[in-house]
């Protein structure tokens, strides 16, 4: 038991170190690792595509204000933002204002809530470039990283590299090697649950569906699915679709949340937030439109 504890500690240190290093062009990490000895259930929040200023500056800004207001009421330990944080390309003149609004509105979020950003196609482009990635990492977060909370491992991936890595193949391969290494270490550390987060859905209706704009191509999809099954990943959370979609592939949940801002299928699939309850060996998740948002989490961390 003692050896296991030491091994786990080493893993955490190792994970933190690799997280801090991140991709080769990563500037600095904004993330920290957490760990407790005894597991306690907890709840966290996933949101997708705030995508400021898609569908207008006022509309999208008000939707983000709404999201932050509900987050402040729910008070989760963290929220994962599944990509497309802003709308225009990184080298468009309007991106500076969009980014300022993103940080300004999130500055109103209770500081107890940590925000973990995921890069999307509107953030770094498809295919991304070293320049667009550097721009993103200087402002938001590494394009891939992991963090630990209550003995659960959360892995953030860059899905534009999975979708199309033309002219940047070396970095795409590096991410895949990092992912496999991270999952190998996770199996030795015996985390309660391992979850992946990326912008593009692996698939929308079936793991064998053909590639289109909103999903990942079949070759890379199968590669990721193989790793997920080999290392017992519980779920992959996505955005990008602006609609809800769900696939259960032999126990692996592929969960696509509609946008927190401009949901394409209002009012039947309205904009909102996904609440995730984490148990020792499984997760339970529900998406709520803003008008039906609960007033508290199943397992509040802060009381
Ligand atoms: Fe997207």
pLDDT in tens, 181-199: 999 999 999 999 999 999 9
Report the top-level CATH class of 2-292.
alpha beta
Compute, in angstroms, the gap from residue 33 CA to the centroid of ligand 1. Answer: 28
In what side-by-side order are the strands of the sheet with 252-256? 145-149, 152-156, 194-197, 235-238, 252-256, 245-249
Compute, in angstroms, the gap from residue 80 CA to the centroid of ligand 1. Answer: 15
Compute, in angstroms, the gap from residue 150 CA to the centroid of ligand 1. Answer: 30
Per the rule left: phi > 0, alpha: psi between -120 and 50, beta: everything else, 55 is left
Compute, in angstroms, the gap from residue 121 CA to the centroid of ligand 1. Answer: 5
Q: Give CA separation, 200 vs 164, 183, 288, in Å.
A: 11, 20, 21
Compute, in angstroms, the gap from residue 11 CA to the centroid of ligand 1. Answer: 33
Indicate the pLDDT class of residue 37, thresholds 50, 70 and 90: low
* pLDDT (0 to 100) of residue 303: 77
Compute, in angstroms, the gap from residue 52 CA to the centroid of ligand 1. Answer: 12
Compute, in angstroms, the gap from residue 120 CA to the centroid of ligand 1. Answer: 5
When pLDDT is averaged across residues 72-99 and rounded to a whole number, the result is 97
- Judge whether residue 255 has pLDDT over 90: yes
Compute, in angstroms, the gap from residue 192 CA to the centroid of ligand 1. Answer: 30
> For 277-294, how does the pLDDT look when each residue is reduced to its tens digit (9 = 90+)?
999 999 999 999 999 999
Are 39 and 277 in contact by the 8 Å Cβ rule? The answer is: no
Compute, in angstroms, the gap from residue 60 CA to the centroid of ligand 1. Answer: 15
- Judge whether residue 20 has pLDDT over 50: no
What sign has the CA pseudo-torsion 78, 179, 285, 122? positive
* pLDDT (0 to 100) of residue 21: 36
- Judge whether residue 235 has pLDDT over 60: yes
User: CA geometry: angle at 219 spanning 207 and 281, to 5°?
Assistant: 50
Compute, in angstroms, the gap from residue 2 CA to the centroid of ligand 1. Answer: 45
Average pLDDT over all residues of the chain = 90
Interacting residues of 198 by C-beta distance below 8 A, sequence separation 6+: 82, 83, 118, 156, 157, 158, 159, 162, 236, 237, 238
């Amino acid at each position: 038991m003692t050896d296991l504890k030491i091994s786990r500690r080493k893993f955490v240190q190792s994970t933190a170190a690799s997280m801090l290093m991140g991709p080769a062009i990563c500037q600095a990490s904004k993330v920290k690792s957490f760990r407790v000895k005894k597991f306690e259930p907890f709840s966290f929040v996933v949101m997708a595509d705030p995508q400021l200023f898609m569908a207008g500056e006022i509309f999208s800004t008000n939707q983000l204000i709404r999201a932050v207001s509900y987050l402040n009421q729910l008070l989760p330990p963290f929220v994962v933002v599944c990509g497309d944080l802003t709308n225009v390309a990184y080298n468009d003149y309007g991106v500076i204002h969009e980014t300022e609004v993103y940080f300004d509105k999130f500055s109103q979020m209770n500081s107890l809530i940590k925000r973990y950003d995921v890069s999307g196609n509107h953030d770094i482009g498809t295919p991304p470039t070293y320049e667009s990635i550097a721009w993103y990492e200087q402002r938001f977060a590494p394009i891939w990283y992991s963090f630990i909370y209550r003995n659960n491992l959360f892995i953030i991936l860059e899905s534009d590299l999975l979708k199309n890595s033309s002219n940047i193949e070396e970095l795409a391969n590096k991410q895949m090697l990092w992912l496999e290494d991270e999952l190998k270490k996770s199996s030795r550390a015996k985390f309660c649950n391992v979850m992946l987060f990326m912008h593009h859905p692996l698939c929308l209706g079936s793991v064998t569906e053909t590639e289109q704009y909103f999903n990942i191509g079949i070759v890379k999809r199968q590669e990721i699915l193989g790793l997920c099954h080999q290392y017992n990943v519980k779920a992959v959370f996505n955005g990008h679709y602006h609609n809800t979609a769900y696939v259960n592939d032999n126990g692996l949940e592929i969960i696509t949340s509609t946008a927190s801002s401009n949901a394409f299928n209002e009012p039947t699939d309205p904009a909102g937030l996904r609440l995730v309850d984490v148990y020792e060996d499984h997760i339970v998740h529900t998406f709520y439109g803003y008008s039906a948002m609960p007033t508290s989490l199943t397992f509040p961390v802060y009381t």
